[in-house]
Structure 1
Amino acid sequence: MFAPKKLALAALVTSLLVPSAQAIIKTPIFLRIAEHDYAAENRAKFKGKGKYKATVELEKGTYHFRLADKEFSCGTSFGPEAAEKIKFKTPVPVSDCATDTDFSIRILFPGEYEFTLDTKADSGNAISVMRKPKKVAVVRKPPAVDCGTWDGNAVEVNVSSVFKDGELVKDFYSGQTAEVAGGKVSMQPSKESGGLLLLEPAKAKPSDFDWDNASVYFIMTDRFNNGDTSNDYPFNRKKDGKLETGTFQGGDIKGIIEKLDYIQELGMNAIWLTPIVEQIHGFIGGGEKGSFPFYGYHGYWALDFTRLDPNFGTDEDLERLVTEAHKRGIRVVIDVVMNHAGYPTLDDMQTFDINALAPNAPVPDQWTDWVPDEKKGQNWHRYNNYIRWGSSEWAEKWWGPDWVRSGMAGYTAPGGDDITMNLAGLPDFLTESEKHVGLPPILKNKPDTRAVEREGYTVVDYLVEWHTTWVRKYGIDGFRADTVKHVEAEVWTKLKDSATKALAEWKAENPDKAIDDKPFWMVGEVWHHGAYKDFYFDHGMDSLINFDYAGEMQAVKGAQCINQNEDLYATYAKDINTDPDFNLLTYISSHDTKLFFQRYENLELQKGAANGLLLMPGGVQIYYGDESGRPAGPMSDAFDSPTRSFMNWDQLKGDRAALVAHWQKVGQFRNNHVAVGAGEHKMLSEQPYAFSRVKGDDRVVVVYAGEKK
């Protein structure tokens, strides 16, 4: 609730005809949001048929709003009768005399949101809100920054604090060597390096692996490489014959095995795979407008946590992946989801005999064969009309009310906080429950599940057992924990403790396959978490994904010239590398945010992005295709679809081959030297920009000559 005088102007509706109880009047109406000020150019416009729309850019958070004139006059102040939470794309009747009440809305994904006032709705005046699909990306020029200038000749730098006089130093990038004289070394950066020198002792040996210097190659399994075309369409999954935005595209574990040498050559010492467990079999409607069928190709919509999804491969494939990765010094990290299960689909209803079809529903032989009738105005969201969400079958044959909260009949309703909400409408596991439960009905009726009913188990006990079985059986080295803030912190502690024990047991039983004696590692995704330490590190997390670097303009500046990262390098090294219990995983691209290459489509800038990221203190995450300038996928009304394009293997020639070669050089240098990620940072000179990283006996100096004249 907020007072009119404290409201912020968000968008102006000029010359707006608004019906009132007395007459049609002409008055300016404003979309007013309490929490933030927005620029006046965000205007709502008359769209005909009594509809008026305002589009505003919103960050993640909870907002309170209403539409009203400047005086909040009765007749032109549109809001709820009482404070009310609004649902997306759901018209809500409004009072035109809401002088002291407001709607609230929770924004989970930053972007443009459209607020619509409909003065001719069937039930009277109504307001609705929807997220607007992202517009076609506009290629932009990066902001100008001061890189310093370089005349193209040899570069001299004082390295006396790192290397001794007479010591032979090698530039890892070009292979050339020089002797330190008078505390200085002079070298000519190679043409391919863009003015970069990566200096190490000429006789330097690669460091032992340390998670503090992790270089993690993040792969969306379905979109990376198709190594086995025979598993492309299990469960009668299908292509849509159009953009294939939300369909499985064939990437699998065999495909990753085929590319392990490529990943090793990038200097990566770990791979992170999106969830590999069996997904919902059917589809839901994809995007705001239901413009495509959306399968669980990404892995985050689990149906059975005990089985590999056949689209991704077999148990034998996973075992071989771990074995072959370990041979190459690469650890295997898999994504785990403790917060939610996958959506209900018509195909899974059919498979598991959930008789909750609406009377008007068609009954195809296989629900994955169904397509909406566009001539009748149908889209892929139409399938929702064929389901009786109030049927008792959902409680009796699906996950069951002891397992998840859901808006369906017989289930605990979702709450309004991070722990009890249905994130994106997904069924939310009752991870807080201490009730002893049996298997969920859907798994009891699934002949091939490996889930076993345990006496005295809670929901969390089952989830922990299911996830850590992959560790105990195959030697998985770490977890990337999804949606961490939506699960109680104590749950992550329990998962980490169990996984640590499981990996130790596997290593003891498989000493010839164990890559090292390091304990189990876990990194968490806490949406928009920045570069700071908090309680998550006391609850199982060895590292957290760092949203700061990619979320600001810093990554772009650092890609143009790494001297722009000096303050950040110094701060990160001080905070991370003086605390053995604190680390970060910094990135420039991800499946949930954006591709760095998408914004600028500049191969030279993408080359510089390698320098800025791979020379970062702490751990780093490379999203598949960062190193190759992978183009964005087709734009759709799903905000994240462009980030999930198939790996651009066919483009790796010419300029893109040179781009990959640069990432390989810098990545191998990082992997060879634990000091890069885990060492003490010291700036040696401003021009040329030079810094050292030192950890124990490991010593390196990085030099950036500047922008060539």
Structure 2
Amino acid sequence: MCANTYRQKLAILMVVFMIFGSFGSSLPMAFAEEDAPSQEEVQVKIKADVSPGEISYNENAVLELEIENGEDVEIRGIYVDLTEVGGEEKVEIDTELKEITIAVDYATTSGVKILPVTATDTDGNQHNGEAELTVAPRQFVGEADFDWDQAIIYHLLTDRFFNGDPSNDDPYGVGYDKDDPGAYQGGDFKGITKKLDYLDELGVNTIWISPVVENIVHDVRHSDTPHITPYYGYHGYWALNFDELNPHFGTMEDFHQLIDEADARGMKIMLDVVLNHTGYGLKEDDAALDDGSIPFFPSDEDRQRFDGMLRTNEMLRGVVDREIKGELAGLPDFITEDPKVRQQVIDWQTQWIEMSTTPNGNTIDYFRVDTVKHVEDTTWFAFKNELTKKMPEFKMIGESWGSNPNNDHGYLNSGMMDSMLDFNFKNHARNFVRGSINTVESSLQQRNELMDNTKTFGQFISSHDESRFLTELGQEENLGAQMVAASLQITAKGQPVIYYGDELGLYGEDNHPYYDNRQNMPWDEIEGNVVLEHYKKVINARQKFPEVFARGSRNLVEGSGDLGYSIFKRAYEDESVIVGLNINTEETDATFEVPYGRRTTLVNLYNGETVNVSRNNEVTVTLPSMDNGGTVILVASDEEPEGAFWTYFYILIGVGALGIAGAVIYKRVKSK
């Protein structure tokens, strides 16, 4: 065979092998493509809509998704990118609800914002969509209007504040002995209304009142021992009927009058609400206890209201996740993971926006939410969504025991809560007045950086669930410590939460069932109370510079534990406030630089005195002793410094003289 023929045959064989190889390798591919749907066929289509489509930074909106999923692909997770409105890059959307509430950072510019949405299926494929939201400028309604992060909150127990109507003290005919600290004391809506001027003069702009719904009537003490006080649901956390007002507190007309009168003073109402549980005696198994031996025990009709909604004893056996699916202090627990139960519980609470609306159109503004960590997240997502749909400006502050800016338990910037209670702040305050100034100041500077209007915290130093500040400090007569702690609290970033009576220097132990920390407000101690006057001064200073204190930076200017004082600067945009806090038993002089340029006079908002600034921008101030309030708050004076008129007059004379001299010289030169 010649070489050419051999090469020809070899070439033909190679071509044949290539053809068959190509054909053979394509067969599985062809069959696979025929058996499996194409990527286009399994594409999940996401339609995203935001309502309302236009909001300011002080409002919320709900992002709602429609997912077209013809092949029934299982969705593993859904996320929205909220960086355009100042949020996180990857915020999870509940796959059951397919909705989430959106917040806007106050630094976000106005205009149309695109919010990318991504759904991931179980195979790891990503499916994309997007929504539009228009951010509009904030419109204020009247001079008294304020932003959510500028709230100064006064927390009171309605029953313990003031008795404005003795006729409703015993609506069920129980026969309370008011000498028993666990009995109803008579406080009501009319009582709060009569004391609104007191709260207005104090300077607070938000009133947090205990739950208003009808509570169980019976005495829940577990012993008949004479020294154990009877214990009733005066605090409001043991609901009997979520549809009705607690008759101890008054009528709907009384409640509406409170809301209208508060609004007339530029004050907002925050209701305390409970979604985790009902009152004792209301679950199905409790019928066995109803033998007539417990006066006013819930009836079968009362239990029927919650039929199928509460965990039974059988359901509680063997439960692992007791934090969410257990009973808190033995209270009947809602099965909120059941969608029907969840919706009913949410409906009971959200209806109070309409029920609270007065003939004048005013209503409640905020919720404080009880026992947040004891309810699964889907309920909080759904609750927030429903509230936002009803009232975009409606806000919630949650109570999750132990939460703080370093650990918000996942409830902020997630579509659930707008704020959380800061359980660490009372420790900062206690450590500060004990001398740990450097450590506390460092912690508060860090805390400052962790918050904005979409993720803020309510700082308190006392509450109805803990001993009062002075009792925890172990120095019940140290009113100076209370005053300096209050200054630290009120001048810090976040929402100051003042527990009723703190402004009077009250103390009391968290001693169940007596609860000396929940005493009746002692109105006879108001006149001449130095602690009260202190609170008024510091709150008034915060009210004059709301943005500085709600949003401003925090930097230490001077001070240490060794010196016994801290001087720090709060600043926002072109405004600055210098705060000095002294824990020494004697007044103390401090010299430091101030950031007010060529300004020669400052004013101390705490006592109204002026302070002179040296040529090198330094001031020397005398910090009052801790027993005398220990507080200085310096701002640039609105008035011209003393002698400024004559300074400007002589400057003008000098400028005028120079002008005349120049004109004379010019005329002589020109004449030559």
TM-score, structure 2 normalization: 0.58
Runs of 4 or more above 6 Å deviation: 287-290, 393-396
1:572 deviates by 1.5
1:673 deviates by 1.6
Residues 272, 426 of structure 1: alpha-carbon distance in 2 compared, 3 angstrom cutoff: same
> 1:293 aligns to what SS in structure 2?
coil
Structure 1 distance, partners of 2:303, 2:459, is: 42
The question of 1:672 aligning with 2:551 is answered: no
Structure 2 distance, partners of 1:414, 1:589, is: 37
> 2:323 aligns to what SS in structure 1?
coil
The question of 1:420 aligning with 2:325 is answered: yes
Question: Which residue, out of 209, 224, 227, partners 1:273?
Answer: 209
Structure 2 distance, partners of 1:222, 1:293, is: 16
Structure 2 distance, partners of 1:293, 1:345, is: 20
Q: Equivalent residue for 1:555?
A: 429
- Equivalent pair of 1:630/1:648 in contact (CA under 8 Å): no
The question of 1:432 aligning with 2:337 is answered: yes
Structure 1 distance, partners of 2:512, 2:495, is: 33
Q: Equivalent residue for 2:20?
A: none
Q: Equivalent residue for 1:528?
A: 402
Residues 345, 573 of structure 1: alpha-carbon distance in 2 compared, 3 angstrom cutoff: closer
Map 1:290-689; keep pairs closer than 5 Å: 291-344=228-281, 357-358=290-291, 367=295, 397-399=303-305, 402-407=308-313, 415-416=319-320, 417-434=322-339, 458-473=340-355, 474=357, 475-504=363-392, 519-532=393-406, 533-537=408-412, 538-550=414-426, 552=427, 554-559=428-433, 563=437, 565-577=440-452, 580-598=453-471, 599-601=474-476, 602-632=478-508, 637-638=512-513, 641-654=515-528, 657-674=529-546, 675-686=548-559, 689=566
Structure with max Cα Rg:
2
Residues 287, 622 of structure 1: alpha-carbon distance in 2 compared, 3 angstrom cutoff: farther
Residues 342, 414 of structure 1: alpha-carbon distance in 2 compared, 3 angstrom cutoff: farther
> 1:459 aligns to what SS in structure 2?
helix
Question: Which residue, out of 175, 185, 188, partners 1:249?
Answer: 185
Q: Equivalent residue for 2:569?
A: 692
Q: Which amino acid aligns with 1:291?
A: I
When structure 1 is superposed on structure 2, of 599-608 and 213-222 the one drifting more is: 599-608
Structure 2 distance, partners of 1:345, 1:285, is: 16
Q: Deviations over 1:559-590 (max 9, x none)?
A: 4679554213211211114xx43111111100
Q: Equivalent residue for 1:701?
A: 578
Q: Equivalent residue for 2:146?
A: 209
1:240 deviates by 3.6
- Equivalent pair of 1:218/1:621 in contact (CA under 8 Å): yes
Structure 1 distance, partners of 2:381, 2:293, is: 47
Residues 649, 414 of structure 1: alpha-carbon distance in 2 compared, 3 angstrom cutoff: farther
- Equivalent pair of 2:342/2:379 in contact (CA under 8 Å): yes
Q: Deviations over 1:386-419 (max 9, x none)?
A: x9xxxxx969954555110132xx8765834211
Residues 362, 245 of structure 1: alpha-carbon distance in 2 compared, 3 angstrom cutoff: same
1:357 deviates by 4.3
Q: Deviations over 1:280-335 (max 9, x none)?
A: 12221158978222111000000111111010111111111111112222111111
Q: Deviations over 1:520-549 (max 9, x none)?
A: 110110011222244211142111111112
Residues 362, 690 of structure 1: alpha-carbon distance in 2 compared, 3 angstrom cutoff: closer
Residues 562, 208 of structure 1: alpha-carbon distance in 2 compared, 3 angstrom cutoff: farther
Residues 357, 419 of structure 1: alpha-carbon distance in 2 compared, 3 angstrom cutoff: closer
Structure 1 distance, partners of 2:302, 2:262, is: 43
* Equivalent pairs, count: 425
Q: Which amino acid aligns with 1:662?
A: H
Structure 1 distance, partners of 2:567, 2:158, is: 38
Q: Equivalent residue for 2:108?
A: none
Residues 426, 356 of structure 1: alpha-carbon distance in 2 compared, 3 angstrom cutoff: closer
Structure 2 distance, partners of 1:625, 1:589, is: 10
Structure 2 distance, partners of 1:288, 1:329, is: 47
Structure 2 distance, partners of 1:316, 1:702, is: 44
Structure 2 distance, partners of 1:414, 1:615, is: 48
- Equivalent pair of 1:275/1:334 in contact (CA under 8 Å): yes
Structure 2 distance, partners of 1:252, 1:414, is: 43
Q: Which amino acid aligns with 2:371?
A: T
Q: Deviations over 1:263-286 (max 9, x none)?
A: 122221111111010001222115
Map 1:80-159; keep pairs closer than 5 Å: none
Q: Which amino acid aligns with 1:217?
A: Y
Q: Equivalent residue for 1:81?
A: none
- Equivalent pair of 1:632/1:644 in contact (CA under 8 Å): yes
> 1:333 aligns to what SS in structure 2?
strand
- Equivalent pair of 2:484/2:582 in contact (CA under 8 Å): no
Residues 227, 269 of structure 1: alpha-carbon distance in 2 compared, 3 angstrom cutoff: same
1:245 deviates by 2.1
1:481 deviates by 0.6
Q: Which amino acid aligns with 1:278?
A: E
Structure 2 distance, partners of 1:539, 1:486, is: 17
Residues 636, 569 of structure 1: alpha-carbon distance in 2 compared, 3 angstrom cutoff: closer
Q: Which amino acid aligns with 2:568?
A: F
Structure 2 distance, partners of 1:559, 1:622, is: 18
Map 1:5-20; keep pairs closer than 5 Å: none
- Equivalent pair of 1:563/1:704 in contact (CA under 8 Å): no
Q: Which amino acid aligns with 1:583?
A: T
Structure 1 distance, partners of 2:306, 2:243, is: 18
- Equivalent pair of 2:240/2:302 in contact (CA under 8 Å): no
> 2:451 aligns to what SS in structure 1?
helix
- Equivalent pair of 2:448/2:554 in contact (CA under 8 Å): yes
RMSD: 3.1
> 1:462 aligns to what SS in structure 2?
helix
Q: Which amino acid aligns with 1:503?
A: M
Question: Which residue, out of 260, 264, 287, partners 2:200?
Answer: 264
Identity between Structure 1 and Structure 2 (%): 35
Residues 414, 701 of structure 1: alpha-carbon distance in 2 compared, 3 angstrom cutoff: farther
Residues 396, 568 of structure 1: alpha-carbon distance in 2 compared, 3 angstrom cutoff: closer
Q: Deviations over 1:35-86 (max 9, x none)?
A: xxxxxxxxxxxxxxxxxxxxxxxxxxxxxxxxxxxxxxxxxxxxxxxxxxxx
Gaps (5+ residues) in structure 2? 1-142, 358-362, 588-672
Q: Which amino acid aligns with 1:263?
A: L
- Equivalent pair of 1:547/1:587 in contact (CA under 8 Å): yes
Q: Which amino acid aligns with 2:209?
A: L
Greater helix fraction, Structure 1 or Structure 2: 2
The question of 1:219 aligning with 2:156 is answered: yes
1:685 deviates by 2.6
Q: Which amino acid aligns with 2:385?
A: D
